[in-house]
Amino acid sequence: MAGTYTFTIIKPGAVANEHIGPILNVINTHGFHISAMKLIRLRTAQARKFYEVHMGKSFYDALIEFMTSGPIVVIILEKENAVEDYRKLIGNTDPTKAEEGTIRKLFAQSVQKNAVHGSDSDENARIESDFFFSKSERFSIFDERDF
């Protein structure tokens, strides 16, 4: 059964351009519930750990520099089939390939400054949510399961 939550980041470029409110509006109007949220600035060591699967790739150092360049919003979102539905809503990693109406089409500046991150699997949604939030910082609408 598909999981009921995913993890997202509103990245520094979108925060700096005052897109937090408009992005949250798109998220809410597409049926996602905000179950945890905070505005933080990543330290370099944290960013390197979070993006360790990309270590060694050509864009890794620039990615770390960008993701630590200013505040970000980290969020856990709940909805049936959350991971897949949110990936559809954010669109292609490259905004020039993203469909009309997707968050990246609306708010991304480039592949690197692509407005938002979204977990690519239920397992990564769990790992990424646990990376930023303790149990006492989460407020589930699906109270029958372990969140």
CB 84 within 8 A of CB 78: no
Any contact of residue 114 with ligand CMP (CB under 6 A)?
yes
Window 47-86: residues binding ligand CMP (CB under 6 A): 54, 59, 63
**Mask: binding to ligand CMP, 7-26, rule CB under 6 A, as x and -?**
--------------------
CB of 112 to ligand CMP, least distance (A): 4
CB of 66 to ligand CMP, least distance (A): 8
CB of 49 to ligand CMP, least distance (A): 14
Task: Show the tokens assigned to 79.
Answer: 């909805």
Alpha-carbon Rg for the chain in angstroms: 14
H/E stretch holding 48: helix 44-50
Task: Show the tokens assigned to 59.
Answer: 């864009």
Return d(Cα 31, Cα 144) in angstroms, integer. Answer: 19
Q: In the complex with ligand CMP, which residue's Cβ is closer, 45 or 141?
A: 45
Q: How many helices (H) and strands (E) does the chain have?
A: 7, 4
Q: Give contact residues for ligand CMP (rule: CB under 6 A).
A: 54, 59, 63, 93, 111-112, 114, 117
